[in-house]
Amino acid sequence: MTDDVKILAIETSCDETAAAVSQNGLNILSSIVASQVDWHRKYGGVVPEIASRKHMEFIEPVIEEALNKAEVQLKDLDAVAATYGPGLVGSLLVGLSYGKSLAYALHKPFIGVNHIAGHIYANFISKKDIKKPVVCLTVSGGHTDLLYFEGYGEYQIMGRTKDDAAGEAFDKIARYLGLGYPGGPIIEKKAKKGQEDAIDFPRPFLNKDNYDFSFSGLKTAVINYIHTQTQKGNELNIYDIAASFQRAVIDILTEKTVKAALDKKVRTVILSGGVAANKRFREVLKKRLNQYKIPLYYPELKLCTDNAAMISTVAYYQYLKDDFAELNLNADPNLKL
């Protein structure tokens, strides 16, 4: 029964409605993502009520498309999986309830998956032979987590953000500057035309002897700088602000990750989450890790951001361990690994 396992996974933890079918974990037969970004853009961030309503609208066609593309019928599935946390509770409930109902109707086992575990596994989908142990930095709009990972289920959280997530800081600064949403790609583009050392923004927690992060002080410093310059009647150089802010975030993420990799003597460093799409960050981190001959790996873009392929892969490893959930499993917005 375990030689050809097909799992349908559903992911609705934030603002992407996603479904995927995997075969034996790492072979992704289909991965469909319906982005809601157009509905949230005008508000400068994700609006939870809109997110849950859009999930309800999209979930059925997205699942149908995933099954069709995989050429798999419901009766061929070995299990149904869904993300049950962390994330926005109203969003999580849509995918979770749908997944549980489907599993019940099909008399198939149901698997509840942790979204962060999904982000880690995204790396193993795009590169099957990553050498473990690894340090994994998950950086997105909702998380900044530094993890030590030896094998499935063997995680150790080394540090995480005490306030804003790194992606959230990008989004908030972009919104403050009236640049649009999501902020990360826009700031990265503006930063290319600016000087990284033009403004000396703070790098909170950089020299603290731990692996935790903090970005709200940096965000406030950028906002204060904009205020002061505006009050003085000085023209704002958006490019320099973007480049200097981005470099401060990159320095914090890079140094904490390098410290973790050296302390744990890992064989690889992996990245996940939307901020891992930032090319300048990848470049700076890669250069630093090269000094210690530690390879850096990050998934292709469509696997960096939220998707259900990564959820179906985690679900497969849970399937092998008979790690099934009862149908009363509830959404847990603050679920930890």
Sites for ligand KG4 among residues 148-187 (CB under 6 A): 167-168, 170-171, 182-185
Q: Can residue 306 be called a binding residue for Zn ion (CB under 5 A)?
A: yes
Task: Please list the residues that pair with 33 across neighbouring strands.
Answer: 18
196: contact with ligand KG4 by CB under 6 A: no
Token pair in block for residue 12 = 């609705």
Distance CA 121, CA 225 (A): 39
**Peptide bond preceding 48 in cis form (omega within 30 of 0):** no
Residue 37 or 262: which CB sits closer to ligand KG4?
A: 37
Residues 108-147 that bind ligand KG4 (CB under 6 A): 140-142
Distance CA 5, CA 22 (A): 8
Tokens of 98: 């749908």
| Partners of 6 in the β-ladder | 23
CA terminus-to-terminus distance, the chain:
28
Verify binding: residue 83, Zn ion, rule CB under 5 A. Answer: no
- Which option in Zn ion, ligand KG4, none does residue 299 bind, with CB closer than 5 to 8 A by kind? none
Q: Does 140 bind Zn ion (CB under 5 A)?
A: yes
Minimum CB separation of residue 185 from ligand KG4 in Å reads: 4
Q: What span, in angstroms and rounded, lies between the C-alpha atoms of 328 and 265?
A: 41
Q: Min. distance of Cβ 274 from Zn ion in angstroms?
A: 7
The verdict on 188 binding ligand KG4 (CB under 6 A) reads yes
8/276 with CB nearer ligand KG4: 276
- Which option in ligand KG4, Zn ion, none does residue 11 bind, with CB closer than 5 to 8 A by kind? none
Interface positions with ligand KG4 (CB under 6 A): 14, 140-142, 167-168, 170-171, 182-185, 188, 273-275, 277-278, 305-306
